[in-house]
């Protein structure tokens, strides 16, 4: 089961350069509008297909997020990643809305990781 992570915890990990992978569980068009720094697009309905390609190391820490508390995409993706054997999955339930409203930086566009999926 995925554990929760707060914005403050996630920002601290990103700022410290910790070895984490951040996945946005929304469709690509929302990812391209704005995503957390360094995040990779992993739509919740493509986890089975894309996770093994994007992250073969099942012991690496993963943080998934979607748009906000009402959105269940990150919860669905986190549950599926756990079922696939990923051991260290965290869910940033408050999501992109919380991040942006707190004035945190975002990136825009597809990014290298997203382009590799096309």
Strand 3-4 to 40-41 pairing: unpaired
Residue ranges and CATH numbers for the domains of the chain are 3-107 (3.40.250.10)
Token pair 């951040």: residue:
22
Q: Report whether 79 contacts 51 (CB < 8 A).
A: no
pLDDT of residue 2: 86
Q: Report whether 23 contacts 42 (CB < 8 A).
A: yes
Supply the pTM of this predicted model: 0.91
Residues 74-111: tens digit of each pLDDT? 999 999 999 999 999 999 999 999 999 999 999 999 75
- Say whether pLDDT at 114 is over 50: no
Q: How far apart, in whole angstroms, are the C-alpha atoms of residue 89 and residue 86?
A: 7
Report angle CA 102, 107, 110 to the nearest 5 degrees. 145
On average, the pLDDT of the chain sits at 92
């Amino acid at each position: 089961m995925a554990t929760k992570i707060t914005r403050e915890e996630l920002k601290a990990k990103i700022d410290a350069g910790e070895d984490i992978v951040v996945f946005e569980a929304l469709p690509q068009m929302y990812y391209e509008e704005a995503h957390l720094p360094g995040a990779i697009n992993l739509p919740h309905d493509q986890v089975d297909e894309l996770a093994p390609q994007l992250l073969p190391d099942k012991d690496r820490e993963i943080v998934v997020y979607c748009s906000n508390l009402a959105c269940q995409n990150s919860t669905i993706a986190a549950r599926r990643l756990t079922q696939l054997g990923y051991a260290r999955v965290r869910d940033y339930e408050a999501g992109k809305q919380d991040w942006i409203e707190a004035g945190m930086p975002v990136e825009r566009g597809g990014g290298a990781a997203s382009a590799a999926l096309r």
